[in-house]
Chain A
């Protein structure tokens, strides 16, 4: 069993990395879901939502098959001497997949509520799609983005099922906070379990507080009663 410091270090490394990787990916996916017109929109939505409804151990098992030496992705990386399974990389991949729906959905909802006429106006003023996205769509969906990233980060911190299957429970490498609690309880170290649980509760409260703050700040900052944003203030960013 790793030290409290190691457990926190691994947990934060894994969660922060997964969240940072989710940032650009969720922007792209949310935009495709909010503005996409093709037949592929539905299937994409289903794929993005799937990790939310699958048991995490199943997600972990699928990842193990994909990332393993003989798997689709693992097989490509093996000749390069890269092995992902049972490394911190695998733990990051597990968190990334499991937290993906939580990062994408609030952002997609927020983008869907951005008045398309504003985007049209930007185009008539000479803005290309890239500028429309970064200067109109994204700033007006900021609340959804931050909420999604926070939820994804929180989900990553709590990830257990997929991680233990694809990354194992290796002290100092893949043993995150939930795995540490599991190990402590199953090996009778009640005091360690209690300390870890306390840390988890404090972290969770901090995150929930931050989420509330983000919502409040953005609501007062951006266009209260302003056109096109009026509706946004009434909708919750939580997708569930």
Chain B
């Protein structure tokens, strides 16, 4: 698997963004709230707007203001998929697709065209104008057009934003197919962590121009500051696991986290064995010093307190569940005193089936 290296610095007014990223895989995902600098980052890499910056992709310097170098957009070989698709309205889908193909017609070109139309299911759309395409169809044509320009780097600007859940799922599948089939190095930008986690080999969490956290998706979830995580996905706790069995009759499903941590989640129609990602809010976790008797909460884990972090009216308690699974609970300072919560203390954590949410 190839690597992707990105080294950049850009300045816009008082805004300064600095990012040095080395990814083990070809897809880097950048996530952050609006205003974090995601768009500036894409614009700087694509060379669309003049700004003071230095951009280096895989050792190739695309721009360096300090030496007055700014490669024009058309020479950067970046395939940018715009958030609004930016399909040419006066051309058919086919004409849009071939716009970026350079050089004389050749067998290789024809094969690339056939391959892209097949992978993205574009055969039936080729003669249509963008006005006659649905949102999902437009996105696929835009993706195909970028791929056919033979980019050294694919740039995806919020590729899943503005689509309803079903469509999002389908476009996500297409993106996964593109990734597996064509293996272009890509830089994807989104304000939703989920989108980025689903596709990227390396995730960068950006806030106010600063990298808050970065790493492989699984590692990132463990390392990222819980409050940052909560801002990005709405859950302080994001857990990855494997679906064992879904039993709608009992109203639960079983999910394994690591080797021997098992959770009871709401039922789902995903097939058994699917990798799943679960979100749990910190305030939905209940801590107990003794093992509680029979309760309606289906999930009960014996854990040890890793750290107690006072946050004004709240206290965050980081819990080590073993199997490198961590949870964060939000409790009142009064509970901290009563349960004598301190690092190393063994406690029981319990939470209801329905406080577990499937992310996706």
Contact, CB under 8 Å: A124 / B131: no
Chain A CB within 10 Å, residue with most, of B77, B89, B149 = B89
B49-90 near A? 1/0 per residue, CB < 8 Å = 000000000000000000000001111111110101111111
Q: Does residue B48 face the partner (Cβ distance < 8 Å to A)?
A: yes
Q: Does residue B333 face the partner (Cβ distance < 8 Å to A)?
A: no
Contact, CB under 8 Å: A223 / B130: yes
Contact, CB under 8 Å: A227 / B48: no
Q: How large is the interface on A (under 10, 10 to 19, 20 to 34, 35 or more residues)?
A: 20 to 34
Chain A interface SS verdict (over half): loop
The chain B residue with its CB closest to the CB of A132 is: B74
Residues of chain A within 8 A (CB-CB) of B100 are 125-127
Contact, CB under 8 Å: B102 / A126: yes
Contact, CB under 8 Å: B149 / A126: yes
Please pick, from A125, A127, A223, A229, the residue contacting B145 in the complex, using a CB distance under 8 A. Answer: A125
Residues of chain A within 8 A (CB-CB) of B210 are none
Q: How far is the CA of A81 from the CA of B149 in the complex (A)?
A: 55
Contact, CB under 8 Å: A228 / B89: yes
Chain A CB within 10 Å, residue with most, of B85, B99, B102, B138 = B99
Select the stretch in A25-33, A114-122, A205-213 that faces chain B. Answer: A114-122
A211-240 near B? 1/0 per residue, CB < 8 Å = 000000000001111111100000000000
Q: Does residue B319 face the partner (Cβ distance < 8 Å to A)?
A: no
Contact, CB under 8 Å: B73 / A222: no
The chain B residue with its CB closest to the CB of A221 is: B90
Give A13 Cβ to nearest chain B Cβ, in Å: 34
Contact, CB under 8 Å: A117 / B82: yes
Q: Does residue A140 face the partner (Cβ distance < 8 Å to B)?
A: yes
Chain B interface SS verdict (over half): loop
The chain B residue with its CB closest to the CB of A229 is: B89
Residues of chain B within 8 A (CB-CB) of A222 are 89-90
Q: Does residue B222 face the partner (Cβ distance < 8 Å to A)?
A: no
Q: How far is the CA of A196 from the CA of B269 in the complex (A)?
A: 82
Contact, CB under 8 Å: A223 / B129: yes
Contact, CB under 8 Å: B99 / A122: yes
Known A120-B48, A124-B46, A126-B100; judge A136-B131 contact (CB<8 A): no
Contact, CB under 8 Å: B131 / A223: yes
Known A117-B82, A124-B80, A125-B149; judge A139-B90 contact (CB<8 A): yes
Contact, CB under 8 Å: A127 / B74: yes
Known A140-B89, A140-B90, A222-B90; judge A124-B79 contact (CB<8 A): yes
Please pick, from A120, A125, A126, A225, the residue contacting B131 in the complex, using a CB distance under 8 A. Answer: A225
Contact, CB under 8 Å: B86 / A120: yes
Q: Does residue A42 face the partner (Cβ distance < 8 Å to B)?
A: no
A40-52 near B? 1/0 per residue, CB < 8 Å = 0000000000000
The chain B residue with its CB closest to the CB of A115 is: B86
Contact, CB under 8 Å: B129 / A226: yes
Please pick, from A124, A139, A224, the residue contacting B76 in the complex, using a CB distance under 8 A. Answer: A124
Known A117-B82, A117-B84, A123-B73; judge A223-B90 contact (CB<8 A): yes
Please pick, from B79, B86, B131, B146, the residue contacting A224 in the complex, using a CB distance under 8 A. Answer: B131
Contact, CB under 8 Å: B89 / A223: yes
Residues of chain B within 8 A (CB-CB) of A223 are 89-90, 129-131
The chain B residue with its CB closest to the CB of A120 is: B48
The chain A residue with its CB closest to the CB of B102 is: A126
Closest 9 CB pairs of A and B: A125-B100, A223-B89, A226-B131, A226-B89, A121-B86, A123-B73, A124-B80, A229-B89, A223-B131
Residues of B participating in the A interface, judged by any CB pair closer than 8 Å:
46, 48, 72-80, 82, 84-90, 99-100, 102, 129-131, 138, 145-146, 149
Task: Identify 6 residue pairs between A and B in the complex whose beta-carbon atoms are under 8 Å apart, listed by A's number.
Answer: A115-B86, A124-B80, A125-B79, A223-B90, A227-B86, A227-B138
